[in-house]
Amino acid sequence: MRSPDVRERYPHLVGGSWTEPVAGEYVETVDPATNEPIATVASGTAADVDAAVSAARAAFPEWRDTDPVTRGQRVHRVAELIRARRDELAAIETVDQGKPLSQARSDFEGAARYFEYYAGAADKLEGESIPVGTGQVDFTVREPYGVSAQILPWNFPGNLFARGVAPALVAGNAVVVKPAPTTPLSAFHLAELCHEAGIPEGAVNVVAGGGEPGGALTEHAGVDTVTFTGSVPTGQAVMRAAAEHVTPVTLELGGKNPAIVYPDADVEEAVGWVATAIFTNAGQVCSAADRALVHEDVYDAFVEQITAIAEAYELGPGREDPDMGPLNSEAHRERVAEYVERGREEGATLAVGGDVLDRAGNFVEPTVFVDVDNGMTVAQEEIFGPVLVVVPFSDDDDPVEIANDVEYGLTAGVFTNDVRRAHRDARRLEAGNVYVNKWFGDTNQTPFGGYKKSGIGREKGFEALDSYLQTKNVAINLERGLGDDLPGA
Ligand code: NAD
């Protein structure tokens, strides 16, 4: 079913103009609740990427040289426009991505916050003055890279557009956005709002399609920095392609995030946090709590309570705002179903769920595997669905060691009322973000990113600006004549 705000056809958006794909090809994007088409979207190629990168390169000097106060005001205006159109954007996202309407609304409130937060930084991107003696003045300036490529995944399409585009623009870069092929729509609508807010039209471009335009962007000589969110194998391909022109990359590649529940925790609260942290957006969240490590003293209570929550979840199309919507694509539904089968084969016990619903769309039941060994595939690999694995531990085990025993390191949580244990574990956990007695503790203001295979660099917070600014040091001689300066001195 098409939302009234979804258009029938989306060409690329290049330099502010709707631009036909060079190869003339279009694909359909479908509603994951029915798998019926909702719109036709351009299928990009390297030639379309060339056009978008040229438009961004042409717009870059004007945007870079826009005075910082004006730049900040325009970026702030984007936040206001997103807020004003929040419900319209949420309705579009819901039919394209599948998530419940209230979660989509929350995504766009977060998107507005990114533009608002970074807008305030535009006139505060200061360099330093470095004391090198009286014969020389030395200072640094922070300059934008130029063209930032933003390659988006399909789990939080609109929100992650804002997470990358807002700091890139505030720093003075122009952007080319490539949304995921199954969730392209919100990127077009957000880019239009950027233009409406007064950002130069060529400074925000959208090229739709899959791996081909994604690959073309990362290896393009005209792209100066790449921000990618998605899977580890694609992230590795991005890194390899970016090496050609020594283009810096920021990678956010998911996780297999442990929630450690100690016997002194408030178990009911811990269960509530973990349930939200694994079933929100049907588990398609890189920071989801997908691996609960639960002490044997509270294990039965934990399993009983989380099973009851999972059983009570209502599934339905996102537009009806159920507890949980469908998975984003048929292919992903099959992938998740294969993981559930793998868990069964490896000897994990299914406490609840595990089935694909016998109805149209990509619905998978909220699923909890218990008695899981941390070495099993379902405890090691990112399933990216509503599938929690529960691993028991005893006083003889070190749960932090079990928690760290995966290739990932994005988020981790500790549930305990012992302040010493909380601090000790937070220090030892190999993760970019640690939550104590809560989950999703990161905000727009706090840095977010991975240890180990979960990624490189940080999104969010002030630290994200480092991905969009390079430092130039300027040394000015105040003395006449030749000095005795030599390299390395
Ligand atoms: P993916 O990594 O293949 O795709 C992410 C983005 O990269 C998409 O826009 C895609 O079109 C683009 N892309 C594909 N090939 C590319 C290439 N060679 N060069 C540049 N860009 C390219 O992810 P997926 O296949 O859609 O999802 C698979 C798995 O990825 C999921 O099941 C999940 O485990 C993980 N994932 C993680 C996140 C996250 O937030 N970290 C988000 C989405 C998916």
344 in Cβ contact with 296 (< 8 Å)? no
For residue 269, what pLDDT is reported?
98
Is 181 close to ligand 1, i.e. is its CB under 6 Å away? yes
Ligand 1 centre and the CA of 33: distance in Å?
Answer: 21
For residue 20, what pLDDT is reported?
98
d(CA 30, CA 187): 16
For residue 3, what pLDDT is reported?
62
Is 210 close to ligand 1, i.e. is its CB under 6 Å away? yes
Catalogue all structural domains in the chain, each as residue range(s) with its CATH number: 9-253+454-472 (3.40.605.10), 258-436 (3.40.309.10)
Ligand 1 centre and the CA of 68: distance in Å?
Answer: 34
d(CA 330, CA 406): 28
Is 258 close to ligand 1, i.e. is its CB under 6 Å away? no
Residues near 272 by beta carbon (within 8 Å), at least 6 away in sequence: 309
Give the mutation target among 234, 250, 330, 440 for probing the ligand 1 site: most ligand atoms within 8 A of CB. Answer: 234
For residue 488, what pLDDT is reported?
85
Atom in ligand 1 nearest the alpha carbon of residue 182: 26
Is 180 close to ligand 1, i.e. is its CB under 6 Å away? yes
**What tokens appear for 420 in the block?**
């010493």
Residue 202 to residues 40, 79, 442: CA-CA distances in angstroms? 23, 19, 32
d(CA 262, CA 294): 7
Nearest CA to ligand 1 atom 16: 211
User: Is 286 tagged catalytic?
Assistant: yes
333 in Cβ contact with 354 (< 8 Å)? no
Nearest CA to ligand 1 atom 30: 231
Over the stretch 149-177, which tens digit does the pLDDT of each residue have? 999 999 999 999 999 999 999 999 999 99
Nearest CA to ligand 1 atom 11: 210
Atom in ligand 1 nearest the alpha carbon of residue 234: 2
Ordered mean pLDDT values, 10 residues apiece, the chain (489 residues): 79 98 97 98 98 98 98 98 98 98 98 98 98 96 98 98 98 98 98 98 98 98 98 98 97 97 98 98 98 98 98 97 98 98 98 97 98 98 98 98 98 98 98 98 95 98 98 97 87
Nearest CA to ligand 1 atom 37: 230
Is 49 close to ligand 1, i.e. is its CB under 6 Å away? no
Nearest CA to ligand 1 atom 4: 230
Is 459 close to ligand 1, i.e. is its CB under 6 Å away? no
Is 215 close to ligand 1, i.e. is its CB under 6 Å away? yes
For residue 2, what pLDDT is reported?
53
The dihedrals phi and psi of 374, each to the nearest 5 degrees, come to: -65, -15
Residues near 127 by beta carbon (within 8 Å), at least 6 away in sequence: 139, 140, 141, 142, 471
For residue 161, what pLDDT is reported?
98
Nearest CA to ligand 1 atom 27: 231
For residue 4, what pLDDT is reported?
65
Is 284 close to ligand 1, i.e. is its CB under 6 Å away? no
Is 255 close to ligand 1, i.e. is its CB under 6 Å away? no
460 in Cβ contact with 447 (< 8 Å)? yes
For residue 383, what pLDDT is reported?
98
Ligand 1 centre and the CA of 218: distance in Å?
Answer: 14
Q: Among 252, 365, 430, 459, which one carries the catalytic annotation? A: 252
Atom in ligand 1 nearest the alpha carbon of residue 410: 41
User: Is 296 tagged catalytic?
Assistant: no
Is 237 close to ligand 1, i.e. is its CB under 6 Å away? yes
